[in-house]
Structure 1
Amino acid sequence: MRMLDLSTPIDAGQWEPEKVTHDIVSPAEGARHMSEEMKLHFGLDFDHTVLPDGELLSIDTLGLTTHTGTHVDAPSHYGTRGPAGRPPRTVDELPLDWFHRPAFVLDVRGVEASTAGADDLRAELARTGYTPQPLDIALLLTGADELVGTKRYFTDFRGLDGGATAFLLDLGVRVIGTDAFSLDAPFTDMIRRYQESGDRGVLWPAHFLGRDREFCQIERLTGLDALPPYGFTVSCYPVKVAGAGAGWCRAVAEIPEN
Protein backbone atom coordinates (compact mmCIF):
# COMPACT_ATOMS: atom_id res chain seq x y z
CA MET A 1 0.00 0.00 0.00
CA ARG A 2 1.38 3.40 -1.01
CA MET A 3 0.31 6.38 1.10
CA LEU A 4 -0.03 9.88 -0.35
CA ASP A 5 -0.45 12.96 1.82
CA LEU A 6 -3.28 15.13 0.44
CA SER A 7 -3.02 17.85 3.09
CA THR A 8 -1.82 21.43 2.93
CA PRO A 9 0.12 22.65 5.98
CA ILE A 10 -0.91 25.16 8.59
CA ASP A 11 1.84 27.73 8.07
CA ALA A 12 1.96 31.08 9.83
CA GLY A 13 4.49 32.19 7.22
CA GLN A 14 1.88 32.07 4.44
CA TRP A 15 -0.74 34.71 3.74
CA GLU A 16 -4.23 33.86 5.01
CA PRO A 17 -7.47 35.89 5.00
CA GLU A 18 -7.57 35.23 8.77
CA LYS A 19 -4.07 35.77 10.18
CA VAL A 20 -2.36 32.73 11.69
CA THR A 21 -0.07 33.20 14.69
CA HIS A 22 2.44 30.61 15.85
CA ASP A 23 4.37 31.23 19.07
CA ILE A 24 7.06 28.74 20.07
CA VAL A 25 8.39 28.19 23.57
CA SER A 26 11.80 26.58 23.12
CA PRO A 27 12.88 23.56 25.21
CA ALA A 28 15.15 25.84 27.29
CA GLU A 29 12.32 28.33 27.82
CA GLY A 30 10.04 25.42 28.64
CA ALA A 31 12.40 24.34 31.44
CA ARG A 32 12.43 27.81 32.98
CA HIS A 33 8.66 28.13 32.59
CA MET A 34 8.07 24.78 34.29
CA SER A 35 10.28 25.78 37.21
CA GLU A 36 8.29 29.02 37.64
CA GLU A 37 4.95 27.21 37.38
CA MET A 38 5.96 24.58 39.96
CA LYS A 39 6.84 27.29 42.45
CA LEU A 40 3.74 29.40 41.71
CA HIS A 41 1.13 26.64 41.81
CA PHE A 42 2.68 23.93 44.01
CA GLY A 43 5.20 25.79 46.21
CA LEU A 44 8.06 23.65 44.95
CA ASP A 45 11.53 24.98 44.22
CA PHE A 46 13.07 23.18 41.27
CA ASP A 47 16.39 24.07 39.63
CA HIS A 48 15.73 23.54 35.93
CA THR A 49 19.48 23.52 35.18
CA VAL A 50 19.69 19.92 36.45
CA LEU A 51 17.75 18.81 33.37
CA PRO A 52 19.82 17.34 30.48
CA ASP A 53 21.15 20.32 28.49
CA GLY A 54 19.04 22.56 30.75
CA GLU A 55 16.07 21.82 28.52
CA LEU A 56 12.61 20.38 29.05
CA LEU A 57 10.01 20.40 26.24
CA SER A 58 8.93 22.84 23.54
CA ILE A 59 5.39 24.22 23.40
CA ASP A 60 3.61 25.59 20.32
CA THR A 61 0.70 27.99 20.69
CA LEU A 62 -1.31 28.80 17.57
CA GLY A 63 -4.06 31.27 16.82
CA LEU A 64 -6.12 30.24 13.80
CA THR A 65 -9.59 29.27 12.60
CA THR A 66 -10.74 25.70 12.07
CA HIS A 67 -10.87 26.55 8.35
CA THR A 68 -7.10 27.08 8.11
CA GLY A 69 -5.24 24.38 6.22
CA THR A 70 -6.90 21.15 5.16
CA HIS A 71 -10.12 20.74 7.12
CA VAL A 72 -13.55 19.12 7.19
CA ASP A 73 -16.65 21.34 7.19
CA ALA A 74 -19.46 19.95 9.34
CA PRO A 75 -23.19 20.54 8.68
CA SER A 76 -23.38 23.14 11.48
CA HIS A 77 -21.04 25.33 9.40
CA TYR A 78 -23.77 25.83 6.81
CA GLY A 79 -26.34 27.42 9.13
CA THR A 80 -28.49 26.84 12.20
CA ARG A 81 -31.15 24.84 10.34
CA GLY A 82 -30.44 21.24 9.46
CA PRO A 83 -32.29 18.64 7.38
CA ALA A 84 -35.91 18.06 8.46
CA GLY A 85 -35.64 21.02 10.82
CA ARG A 86 -33.24 19.23 13.17
CA PRO A 87 -30.19 21.02 14.60
CA PRO A 88 -27.23 20.39 12.27
CA ARG A 89 -24.47 18.18 13.61
CA THR A 90 -21.12 19.62 14.67
CA VAL A 91 -17.78 18.13 13.64
CA ASP A 92 -17.44 16.05 16.82
CA GLU A 93 -20.85 14.43 16.25
CA LEU A 94 -20.29 12.99 12.77
CA PRO A 95 -20.07 9.25 12.05
CA LEU A 96 -16.47 8.09 11.79
CA ASP A 97 -17.24 5.69 8.94
CA TRP A 98 -17.76 8.65 6.61
CA PHE A 99 -14.07 9.50 6.79
CA HIS A 100 -12.29 6.30 5.79
CA ARG A 101 -13.79 5.25 2.48
CA PRO A 102 -13.10 4.36 -1.14
CA ALA A 103 -12.68 7.56 -3.15
CA PHE A 104 -12.73 8.76 -6.72
CA VAL A 105 -11.39 11.84 -8.52
CA LEU A 106 -13.40 14.21 -10.70
CA ASP A 107 -11.04 16.22 -12.91
CA VAL A 108 -12.74 19.54 -13.70
CA ARG A 109 -9.64 21.46 -14.77
CA GLY A 110 -11.05 21.74 -18.29
CA VAL A 111 -14.28 23.42 -17.19
CA GLU A 112 -14.20 27.05 -18.30
CA ALA A 113 -16.89 28.39 -15.95
CA SER A 114 -16.24 29.31 -12.31
CA THR A 115 -18.36 26.33 -11.26
CA ALA A 116 -18.68 22.81 -12.60
CA GLY A 117 -22.22 21.56 -13.19
CA ALA A 118 -23.86 18.15 -12.97
CA ASP A 119 -23.32 17.53 -16.70
CA ASP A 120 -19.59 18.15 -16.25
CA LEU A 121 -19.47 15.52 -13.50
CA ARG A 122 -21.50 13.02 -15.53
CA ALA A 123 -19.11 13.46 -18.44
CA GLU A 124 -16.10 12.93 -16.18
CA LEU A 125 -17.56 9.75 -14.68
CA ALA A 126 -18.31 8.49 -18.19
CA ARG A 127 -14.70 9.21 -19.19
CA THR A 128 -13.22 7.28 -16.25
CA GLY A 129 -15.83 4.52 -16.36
CA TYR A 130 -16.36 4.59 -12.61
CA THR A 131 -19.73 4.06 -10.92
CA PRO A 132 -19.70 5.67 -7.44
CA GLN A 133 -20.99 3.62 -4.53
CA PRO A 134 -22.85 4.99 -1.48
CA LEU A 135 -20.52 6.73 1.00
CA ASP A 136 -17.66 6.96 -1.51
CA ILE A 137 -15.61 10.12 -1.04
CA ALA A 138 -15.65 12.40 -4.11
CA LEU A 139 -12.52 14.50 -4.76
CA LEU A 140 -12.69 17.55 -7.01
CA LEU A 141 -9.45 18.16 -8.92
CA THR A 142 -9.39 21.83 -9.94
CA GLY A 143 -5.63 22.51 -9.96
CA ALA A 144 -6.05 25.36 -7.47
CA ASP A 145 -3.45 23.89 -5.11
CA GLU A 146 -0.74 25.17 -7.46
CA LEU A 147 -1.49 28.62 -5.97
CA VAL A 148 -1.15 27.63 -2.29
CA GLY A 149 0.78 30.27 -0.37
CA THR A 150 -0.39 33.16 -2.58
CA LYS A 151 -3.38 35.51 -2.40
CA ARG A 152 -4.61 34.13 -5.73
CA TYR A 153 -5.33 30.82 -4.03
CA PHE A 154 -8.29 32.52 -2.34
CA THR A 155 -9.67 34.19 -5.49
CA ASP A 156 -8.74 32.02 -8.51
CA PHE A 157 -10.38 28.61 -8.34
CA ARG A 158 -13.32 26.56 -9.56
CA GLY A 159 -16.20 25.25 -7.44
CA LEU A 160 -19.39 23.24 -7.80
CA ASP A 161 -22.82 24.68 -8.44
CA GLY A 162 -25.84 23.51 -6.48
CA GLY A 163 -26.94 21.02 -9.13
CA ALA A 164 -23.54 19.33 -9.21
CA THR A 165 -23.45 19.07 -5.44
CA ALA A 166 -26.96 17.55 -5.41
CA PHE A 167 -25.90 15.12 -8.14
CA LEU A 168 -23.13 13.74 -5.92
CA LEU A 169 -25.42 13.51 -2.89
CA ASP A 170 -27.96 11.60 -5.01
CA LEU A 171 -25.22 9.03 -5.66
CA GLY A 172 -24.87 8.49 -1.89
CA VAL A 173 -21.75 10.61 -1.44
CA ARG A 174 -21.55 12.25 1.99
CA VAL A 175 -18.04 13.70 1.87
CA ILE A 176 -16.93 15.91 -1.04
CA GLY A 177 -13.33 17.13 -1.14
CA THR A 178 -11.65 19.83 -3.19
CA ASP A 179 -8.13 21.13 -3.70
CA ALA A 180 -9.55 24.67 -3.75
CA PHE A 181 -10.20 27.14 -0.93
CA SER A 182 -13.95 26.45 -1.10
CA LEU A 183 -16.38 24.02 -2.68
CA ASP A 184 -18.30 27.04 -3.96
CA ALA A 185 -17.02 29.54 -6.51
CA PRO A 186 -14.71 32.35 -5.30
CA PHE A 187 -16.47 34.93 -3.12
CA THR A 188 -15.73 37.72 -5.59
CA ASP A 189 -17.24 35.74 -8.48
CA MET A 190 -20.44 34.87 -6.60
CA ILE A 191 -20.99 38.43 -5.41
CA ARG A 192 -20.35 39.83 -8.89
CA ARG A 193 -22.88 37.43 -10.43
CA TYR A 194 -25.43 38.27 -7.74
CA GLN A 195 -25.02 41.99 -8.34
CA GLU A 196 -25.47 41.47 -12.07
CA SER A 197 -28.49 39.14 -11.85
CA GLY A 198 -30.11 39.70 -8.48
CA ASP A 199 -30.33 35.90 -8.17
CA ARG A 200 -29.61 34.88 -4.58
CA GLY A 201 -29.24 31.29 -5.76
CA VAL A 202 -25.70 32.03 -6.98
CA LEU A 203 -24.55 32.76 -3.40
CA TRP A 204 -22.86 29.74 -1.75
CA PRO A 205 -25.22 27.13 -3.31
CA ALA A 206 -22.97 24.16 -2.47
CA HIS A 207 -22.68 25.14 1.19
CA PHE A 208 -26.32 26.12 1.65
CA LEU A 209 -27.51 22.79 0.21
CA GLY A 210 -26.17 21.35 3.45
CA ARG A 211 -29.09 22.93 5.31
CA ASP A 212 -31.42 20.50 3.55
CA ARG A 213 -29.14 17.51 2.91
CA GLU A 214 -26.49 16.43 5.38
CA PHE A 215 -22.97 16.18 4.02
CA CYS A 216 -19.41 17.32 4.70
CA GLN A 217 -16.74 19.03 2.65
CA ILE A 218 -12.98 18.63 2.78
CA GLU A 219 -11.46 21.90 1.66
CA ARG A 220 -7.87 22.83 0.82
CA LEU A 221 -6.58 19.43 -0.27
CA THR A 222 -3.52 19.06 -2.47
CA GLY A 223 -1.89 16.53 -4.78
CA LEU A 224 -5.08 15.14 -6.29
CA ASP A 225 -3.43 15.06 -9.71
CA ALA A 226 -1.16 12.27 -8.44
CA LEU A 227 -4.11 9.98 -7.75
CA PRO A 228 -5.68 7.41 -10.08
CA PRO A 229 -9.31 8.14 -11.04
CA TYR A 230 -10.49 5.49 -8.55
CA GLY A 231 -9.36 2.31 -6.80
CA PHE A 232 -7.94 3.87 -3.63
CA THR A 233 -9.09 4.76 -0.12
CA VAL A 234 -9.01 8.14 1.63
CA SER A 235 -8.66 8.62 5.37
CA CYS A 236 -9.65 12.11 6.53
CA TYR A 237 -10.83 12.01 10.16
CA PRO A 238 -11.48 15.53 11.47
CA VAL A 239 -10.04 16.66 14.78
CA LYS A 240 -12.67 16.33 17.52
CA VAL A 241 -13.32 20.00 18.32
CA ALA A 242 -16.36 20.08 20.59
CA GLY A 243 -19.29 22.03 19.16
CA ALA A 244 -17.31 23.27 16.13
CA GLY A 245 -18.43 23.71 12.54
CA ALA A 246 -15.14 22.39 11.19
CA GLY A 247 -12.05 20.47 12.23
CA TRP A 248 -8.56 20.17 10.81
CA CYS A 249 -7.64 16.85 9.23
CA ARG A 250 -4.62 15.05 7.81
CA ALA A 251 -6.09 13.64 4.61
CA VAL A 252 -4.21 10.62 3.27
CA ALA A 253 -4.81 8.43 0.22
CA GLU A 254 -4.03 4.73 0.49
CA ILE A 255 -3.24 3.38 -2.97
CA PRO A 256 -2.69 -0.35 -3.67
CA GLU A 257 0.76 -0.97 -5.14
CA ASN A 258 -0.72 -2.95 -8.04
Structure 2
Amino acid sequence: MTAPATTGQLREKLSDMEIGDYIVWKYDNTTSGYIFGGSTTGYTEIPLTGNPLASMPLKYFWYAIKVDKGLLIADRVVSNTTTWDWLNSNKFVEGSPRIISETSGVVRCPSGGVAYADASGNKVLTSTNTGYGAWPTINEWDTYVVNFPLNKIFSGKSLNDLWNFKCMTWCKETTIPITGTVPGGWTTGGRTVRSENTTNSKDRFWSTASNYSNVAVGFRPVFDYKEV
Protein backbone atom coordinates (compact mmCIF):
# COMPACT_ATOMS: atom_id res chain seq x y z
CA MET A 1 0.00 0.00 0.00
CA THR A 2 1.33 3.44 -0.96
CA ALA A 3 0.96 5.35 2.30
CA PRO A 4 1.57 9.13 2.23
CA ALA A 5 5.00 10.38 3.36
CA THR A 6 3.73 12.10 6.48
CA THR A 7 5.24 11.56 9.91
CA GLY A 8 1.71 11.39 11.27
CA GLN A 9 0.14 8.12 12.30
CA LEU A 10 -2.23 5.83 10.45
CA ARG A 11 -5.50 6.04 12.38
CA GLU A 12 -8.62 3.92 12.46
CA LYS A 13 -11.03 6.60 13.69
CA LEU A 14 -11.52 10.25 12.77
CA SER A 15 -11.84 11.12 16.44
CA ASP A 16 -8.26 9.98 17.07
CA MET A 17 -6.72 12.00 14.24
CA GLU A 18 -4.38 14.95 14.66
CA ILE A 19 -3.04 17.21 11.92
CA GLY A 20 -0.64 15.20 9.79
CA ASP A 21 -2.29 11.86 10.58
CA TYR A 22 -3.86 9.82 7.80
CA ILE A 23 -6.62 7.27 7.47
CA VAL A 24 -7.79 4.70 4.92
CA TRP A 25 -10.71 6.07 2.89
CA LYS A 26 -12.67 3.33 1.14
CA TYR A 27 -15.58 3.20 -1.26
CA ASP A 28 -17.80 0.15 -1.58
CA ASN A 29 -20.23 0.47 -4.44
CA THR A 30 -21.98 -2.75 -3.41
CA THR A 31 -23.07 -1.67 0.08
CA SER A 32 -22.69 1.49 2.11
CA GLY A 33 -20.55 3.80 -0.03
CA TYR A 34 -17.74 5.65 1.77
CA ILE A 35 -16.00 4.11 4.80
CA PHE A 36 -13.10 5.30 6.98
CA GLY A 37 -10.59 2.84 8.42
CA GLY A 38 -10.74 -0.91 8.60
CA SER A 39 -9.17 -3.64 6.51
CA THR A 40 -8.40 -3.08 2.84
CA THR A 41 -8.71 -6.79 2.03
CA GLY A 42 -10.88 -7.12 -1.06
CA TYR A 43 -10.39 -3.45 -1.99
CA THR A 44 -8.28 -2.18 -4.91
CA GLU A 45 -5.86 0.66 -4.19
CA ILE A 46 -6.39 3.59 -6.53
CA PRO A 47 -3.18 4.27 -8.53
CA LEU A 48 -1.28 7.45 -7.65
CA THR A 49 -2.26 8.71 -11.11
CA GLY A 50 -5.95 8.17 -10.33
CA ASN A 51 -8.32 5.76 -12.02
CA PRO A 52 -10.54 6.50 -15.06
CA LEU A 53 -14.04 7.27 -13.85
CA ALA A 54 -15.66 4.83 -16.30
CA SER A 55 -13.67 1.87 -14.98
CA MET A 56 -13.70 2.39 -11.23
CA PRO A 57 -13.58 -0.89 -9.24
CA LEU A 58 -16.61 -1.81 -7.14
CA LYS A 59 -14.49 -1.61 -3.98
CA TYR A 60 -11.45 0.66 -3.77
CA PHE A 61 -9.38 2.76 -1.38
CA TRP A 62 -6.89 5.60 -1.00
CA TYR A 63 -5.72 7.69 1.98
CA ALA A 64 -6.96 10.95 3.46
CA ILE A 65 -4.69 13.32 5.39
CA LYS A 66 -5.94 15.55 8.20
CA VAL A 67 -4.92 19.15 7.47
CA ASP A 68 -7.09 21.11 9.89
CA LYS A 69 -9.87 20.69 12.41
CA GLY A 70 -12.71 18.91 10.61
CA LEU A 71 -10.91 18.74 7.26
CA LEU A 72 -9.37 15.82 5.38
CA ILE A 73 -7.87 15.93 1.88
CA ALA A 74 -7.22 12.86 -0.28
CA ASP A 75 -3.56 12.07 -0.86
CA ARG A 76 -4.14 11.65 -4.62
CA VAL A 77 -6.58 12.31 -7.42
CA VAL A 78 -9.01 9.42 -7.07
CA SER A 79 -10.96 9.51 -10.34
CA ASN A 80 -9.44 11.00 -13.49
CA THR A 81 -11.31 11.77 -16.75
CA THR A 82 -13.98 13.18 -14.41
CA THR A 83 -15.39 16.48 -15.68
CA TRP A 84 -16.21 19.46 -13.48
CA ASP A 85 -19.73 19.29 -14.90
CA TRP A 86 -20.11 15.70 -13.69
CA LEU A 87 -18.84 16.66 -10.24
CA ASN A 88 -21.21 19.61 -10.14
CA SER A 89 -24.25 17.56 -11.22
CA ASN A 90 -23.44 15.03 -8.49
CA LYS A 91 -23.08 17.78 -5.84
CA PHE A 92 -19.32 17.22 -5.37
CA VAL A 93 -18.29 20.79 -6.20
CA GLU A 94 -19.92 22.52 -3.25
CA GLY A 95 -20.47 19.38 -1.19
CA SER A 96 -22.40 16.12 -1.21
CA PRO A 97 -23.79 15.43 2.31
CA ARG A 98 -22.60 12.07 3.62
CA ILE A 99 -22.46 10.13 6.87
CA ILE A 100 -19.17 8.23 6.79
CA SER A 101 -18.40 5.81 9.59
CA GLU A 102 -20.96 7.60 11.80
CA THR A 103 -19.53 11.08 11.06
CA SER A 104 -21.65 13.65 9.23
CA GLY A 105 -20.01 15.93 6.70
CA VAL A 106 -19.75 16.74 3.00
CA VAL A 107 -17.55 15.29 0.28
CA ARG A 108 -16.44 18.01 -2.12
CA CYS A 109 -13.73 19.58 -4.25
CA PRO A 110 -11.07 21.74 -2.59
CA SER A 111 -10.96 25.48 -3.13
CA GLY A 112 -8.07 26.66 -5.30
CA GLY A 113 -8.43 30.36 -6.12
CA VAL A 114 -9.57 32.25 -9.22
CA ALA A 115 -6.33 33.83 -10.52
CA TYR A 116 -2.58 33.88 -9.95
CA ALA A 117 -1.28 35.90 -6.99
CA ASP A 118 1.76 38.16 -6.83
CA ALA A 119 4.34 38.47 -4.06
CA SER A 120 2.02 40.82 -2.14
CA GLY A 121 -0.97 38.51 -2.38
CA ASN A 122 -2.75 40.57 -5.03
CA LYS A 123 -4.44 39.02 -8.06
CA VAL A 124 -2.55 38.96 -11.35
CA LEU A 125 -4.61 38.46 -14.50
CA THR A 126 -2.05 36.37 -16.36
CA SER A 127 -1.58 32.77 -17.46
CA THR A 128 2.12 32.85 -16.51
CA ASN A 129 3.00 31.05 -13.30
CA THR A 130 3.99 33.73 -10.79
CA GLY A 131 5.30 31.20 -8.27
CA TYR A 132 3.13 32.67 -5.49
CA GLY A 133 0.10 30.43 -5.77
CA ALA A 134 -3.43 31.64 -6.37
CA TRP A 135 -5.66 34.53 -5.39
CA PRO A 136 -7.43 34.75 -3.02
CA THR A 137 -4.39 33.47 -1.16
CA ILE A 138 -6.61 31.96 1.54
CA ASN A 139 -7.64 28.91 -0.45
CA GLU A 140 -7.36 25.28 0.56
CA TRP A 141 -4.87 24.29 -2.09
CA ASP A 142 -2.28 26.86 -1.07
CA THR A 143 -3.10 26.80 2.63
CA TYR A 144 -3.09 23.05 3.17
CA VAL A 145 -1.46 21.34 0.18
CA VAL A 146 1.34 23.70 -0.86
CA ASN A 147 2.03 24.82 2.71
CA PHE A 148 1.70 21.48 4.47
CA PRO A 149 4.13 21.60 7.44
CA LEU A 150 7.53 20.43 6.17
CA ASN A 151 8.37 19.06 9.62
CA LYS A 152 5.53 16.57 9.15
CA ILE A 153 7.04 15.12 5.95
CA PHE A 154 9.58 12.29 6.18
CA SER A 155 13.21 13.37 5.80
CA GLY A 156 14.31 13.07 2.19
CA LYS A 157 10.72 13.19 0.93
CA SER A 158 8.82 16.05 -0.69
CA LEU A 159 5.32 17.42 -1.13
CA ASN A 160 5.07 15.24 -4.22
CA ASP A 161 5.59 12.14 -2.08
CA LEU A 162 2.77 13.33 0.16
CA TRP A 163 0.20 14.62 -2.34
CA ASN A 164 1.17 12.77 -5.53
CA PHE A 165 1.07 15.53 -8.12
CA LYS A 166 0.53 13.11 -11.00
CA CYS A 167 -2.35 15.00 -12.56
CA MET A 168 -4.30 18.18 -11.97
CA THR A 169 -7.07 18.58 -9.41
CA TRP A 170 -10.47 20.14 -10.09
CA CYS A 171 -11.28 22.96 -7.67
CA LYS A 172 -14.56 24.66 -6.86
CA GLU A 173 -14.05 28.02 -8.53
CA THR A 174 -14.60 29.71 -11.87
CA THR A 175 -11.49 31.63 -12.94
CA ILE A 176 -11.30 35.37 -13.65
CA PRO A 177 -10.69 36.20 -17.35
CA ILE A 178 -7.07 37.18 -17.99
CA THR A 179 -5.77 40.17 -19.92
CA GLY A 180 -3.87 39.94 -23.18
CA THR A 181 -3.64 36.92 -25.45
CA VAL A 182 -5.31 33.79 -24.15
CA PRO A 183 -2.84 30.89 -24.44
CA GLY A 184 -3.66 27.52 -25.92
CA GLY A 185 -5.41 25.29 -23.44
CA TRP A 186 -6.59 28.22 -21.28
CA THR A 187 -10.38 28.55 -21.12
CA THR A 188 -11.76 32.02 -20.42
CA GLY A 189 -14.28 31.69 -17.62
CA GLY A 190 -13.25 28.08 -17.13
CA ARG A 191 -12.93 26.13 -13.90
CA THR A 192 -9.88 26.18 -11.68
CA VAL A 193 -7.48 23.26 -11.75
CA ARG A 194 -4.36 23.05 -9.61
CA SER A 195 -1.12 21.07 -9.89
CA GLU A 196 0.69 19.34 -12.68
CA ASN A 197 3.63 16.95 -12.77
CA THR A 198 6.19 19.67 -13.53
CA THR A 199 8.96 21.45 -11.64
CA ASN A 200 6.50 24.10 -10.45
CA SER A 201 3.69 21.64 -9.79
CA LYS A 202 2.85 22.92 -6.32
CA ASP A 203 2.19 26.43 -7.63
CA ARG A 204 0.45 25.60 -10.90
CA PHE A 205 -2.92 27.26 -11.57
CA TRP A 206 -4.91 26.80 -14.75
CA SER A 207 -8.32 27.44 -16.29
CA THR A 208 -9.99 24.50 -18.02
CA ALA A 209 -13.38 23.99 -19.66
CA SER A 210 -15.93 22.48 -17.29
CA ASN A 211 -16.62 19.61 -19.72
CA TYR A 212 -12.93 18.71 -20.15
CA SER A 213 -12.28 14.99 -19.72
CA ASN A 214 -8.73 13.67 -19.64
CA VAL A 215 -6.49 11.43 -17.54
CA ALA A 216 -4.53 14.61 -16.73
CA VAL A 217 -7.24 16.04 -14.47
CA GLY A 218 -9.61 14.59 -11.91
CA PHE A 219 -11.34 14.59 -8.52
CA ARG A 220 -9.33 14.78 -5.29
CA PRO A 221 -12.04 14.49 -2.62
CA VAL A 222 -12.16 16.55 0.55
CA PHE A 223 -14.16 15.51 3.60
CA ASP A 224 -15.40 18.55 5.47
CA TYR A 225 -17.02 17.70 8.81
CA LYS A 226 -17.88 19.27 12.14
CA GLU A 227 -15.33 18.20 14.71
CA VAL A 228 -16.46 18.46 18.29
TM-score band by shorter chain is under 0.3
Flag the structure with higher strand content.
2
Larger Rg: 1
TM-score, with structure 2 as normaliser = 0.26
TM-score with structure 1 setting the length: 0.24
* Bigger fraction of residues in helix: 1
